[in-house]
Amino acid sequence: MKTSYKILIFSGLIASILFFNSCSKTSTESKLEGKWKYINVANIRDTNYVEDWEFLPNGILRIHYRSYEWSQHEDSILRVDTARYEMDSYDKFTVSDYKNGHLPAYNTQWQIVLNSDNALRIVNNAKGGLYSREFVKE
């Protein structure tokens, strides 16, 4: 009987280690890395992408701006801005050094609401309200 309790406790310990390891910052960060296309959930039929976010492994965030409205070519990139990002926990990251004047709310801590293989939803509460972005993996 003592042996079965030891095995049960040992397997519970291993399961908890595996669970907490899967929830680590590095695991989330590796799922975050790559290029994500913005989805306009306010107008889901709008297929013109406004911006793509690209998380690089060295902590650099590139925001690629594209707009048919601005450039008359749907796939052309108008400009690329850079910032830094750092994982604060498995479900939070902070963007800093983003210098685009019309979107200062980007320089803040973001909560990862959803991070699956092909979908990303993030939100922050900058300036007293919720500001969210939804993406699909490129």
Residue 101: predicted pLDDT: 58
Q: Summarize the confidence of residues 9-29 as an average pLDDT.
A: 58
The residue among 52, 104, 61, 116 whose CA lies nearest residue 86 is 61
- Give pLDDT, residue 72: 55
**C-alpha–C-alpha distance, residues 80 and 51, integer Å:** 9
Q: What pLDDT is attached to residue 1? A: 57
- Residue-level pLDDT at 24: 47
The 10s digit of each residue's pLDDT in 41-83 is 877 777 666 788 999 999 999 988 875 555 455 556 677 889 9
Tell me what the pLDDT averaged over the chain comes to. Answer: 78
Q: Is 128 left (phi over 0), alpha (psi -120 to 50) or beta?
A: left
The residue ranges of DSSP E strands in the chain, in sequence order, are 34-39, 51-55, 60-66, 77-89, 92-96, 109-115, 119-124, 131-137
pLDDT at 113 over 80: yes
83 neighbors 71 (Cβ within 8 angstroms): no
Share above pLDDT 70 across residues of the chain, in percent, rounded to a whole number:
67
Domain ranges of the chain: 27-137
Query: Each residue of 26-39: pLDDT tens digit?
Result: 566 678 999 999 88
Q: Evaluate if residue 87 carries a pLDDT over 80.
A: yes
CATH 2.40.128.280 for domain 27-137, yes or no, is yes
